[in-house]
Amino acid sequence: MRFLLVNNHCISDPTAGVTQSLRTIMEWLADAGHACHILTTARFESSVTFTIEDHLARQGVDVSRLASPHGLSKRSGKKRHVAERPVVHYTVEDVPVTLLLTRHNDESRPDRAEATQYLTLLDKLLEDFAPDQLIACNGHPMILEAMARARKRGITTAFAVRGFGYYETQYFEDVDHAFTCSQFLTDLYRDRVGLVSTPIEPPIAWSSVLAPSESRAFVTFVNPSPHKGLLLFARLADMLGSRRPDIPILVVQSGHSGGSLNAIPGVDFSRYPQIMAAPPVPTPADYFALTRILVVPSVWEEPFGRVAAEAMINAIPPLVSNRGSLPQVVGGDFSEGGGGRVLPIPDWMTFKTTRLPSEQEVEPWYEAVCTLWDDPALYHSVATRAHQIAEERYSEKVSRKKHVDYFTSLKSGGRPIAEHTRIR
């Protein structure tokens, strides 16, 4: 079969989890003997410290030759010269990529000329590459139009739903099949808009996750931001700091979260030398090498919760909140055969919350940390079960087969939302 992926973010962006998972899917399809191609742009999902030229140079592109070609367009019957953007060709793991060198990183600033050029590139690929299936991600109008053009040609369309907000029928008008990253998200869209979708956990590259176990000595919290449970963790860290100074804590910051912990009023973390902060690191393995227990107190509904799955791959017990997909990711609480601990978040807490929870409200988290820390036999049991579930659900062998089997089974003519369905 022949597969074309269309995306509005740079497919080789090293900072974007969603984009990385789509790229891996294409690589797996190519490894299985299918012809694959990717059409993408130069936009990154988040702010970066490097330029697109630097990034492309690392992909082996000769950036000195990126001169803008010129073309003609018509407006009101008159011809005028319009500078087209450069088009770059390179490969990711032997999968050919066509990249439109868009001007800026802000996709909320529409550029009709760039959209027209992107769709012209699409038309050429639909004609020359002749895909059997078009895989799309992102609700950008340009991507929706790409699906419409593919479907008119009888090409099967598959749409990745990786987050929230696709609550209008327009997103699925030209979709044959929808796939999500979790059963939680599939259930949410079924209940919200009547969407029929297939949940497939996203690929996880074990090579970037697996870490040595000799130096694992910390209770670790990754990405101290409000939606990830910063305030609950702050209370937990304060309780551990004052009651259990023997338990070291590591806070792994993201590019946007530096200093967040010290900015919380009412808590002085400088009193606790055992609480340490680490800057962003290149791969998850860098902090998992230091982690004995992972806490994931997310207050928003995680569509997937990759960091918890990555901990299980390392046989590190994850303590996760009872929101979103996190309970499903760890396979439920250990007391019920799962691979971690599923703990409550106070009902009133949201990502907009500005006050700390009480010690009483955080006591279950404190007790879970201390119990695992103090009981080697229990720790070994939870860690073993966590790794077992990771092998069963997140190993490359299992995940690769799921994805290849799914995409090669899809046919055109699907309708994931029935015409009579009313959006609620």
| Domain ranges, ordered by start, for the chain | 2-154, 206-395
* Beta strands 78-83 and 197-199, pairing class: unpaired
Alpha carbon distance 365, 242 (integer Å)? 15
Q: Which residues sit opposite 198 in a β-bridge?
A: 179
283 contacts 212 by C-beta, under 8 angstroms: no
CATH of span 2-154: 3.40.50.2000
Provide the terminal-to-terminal Cα distance of the chain, rounded to the nearest Å: 37
Q: Are 197 and 209 in contact (CB under 8 A)?
A: no
Contact between 417 and 196 (Cβ < 8 Å): yes
CATH topology of domain 206-395: Rossmann fold (3.40.50)
Compute CA 136 distance to the chain's CA centroid, rounded to the nearest angstrom.
Answer: 15
| Predicted pLDDT of residue 302 | 95
pLDDT in tens, the chain (424 residues): 999 999 988 887 766 778 888 999 999 999 999 999 999 988 877 666 677 777 788 878 877 666 544 333 334 444 444 568 889 899 988 999 999 988 766 566 667 888 999 999 999 999 999 999 999 998 889 999 999 999 999 999 999 999 999 999 889 999 999 999 999 999 999 999 999 999 999 999 898 899 999 999 999 999 989 999 999 999 999 999 999 999 999 999 865 544 556 667 667 777 888 889 888 888 899 999 999 999 999 999 999 999 999 999 999 999 999 999 999 999 999 999 999 999 999 999 999 988 999 999 999 999 999 999 999 999 999 999 999 999 999 999 999 999 999 999 999 888 898 655 544 4
Nearest C-alpha neighbor of 406 from the set 152, 151, 160: 160
DSSP annotation of 105 reads: S
Alpha-carbon radius of gyration of the chain:
23
Positive or negative, the CA dihedral 343, 348, 351, 353 is negative
CA angle 187, 188, 194 (to 5 degrees): 80
Strands (E), 1-66: 2-6, 35-41
- The answer to whether 2-154 and 206-395 have equal CATH topology is yes
CA geometry: angle at 361 spanning 356 and 362, to 5°? 80
Question: For tokens 């991600």, what's the residue?
Answer: 137
Residue 227 is classified by DSSP as G
pLDDT of residue 67: 52
C-alpha span between 319 and 369 (Å, rounded): 8
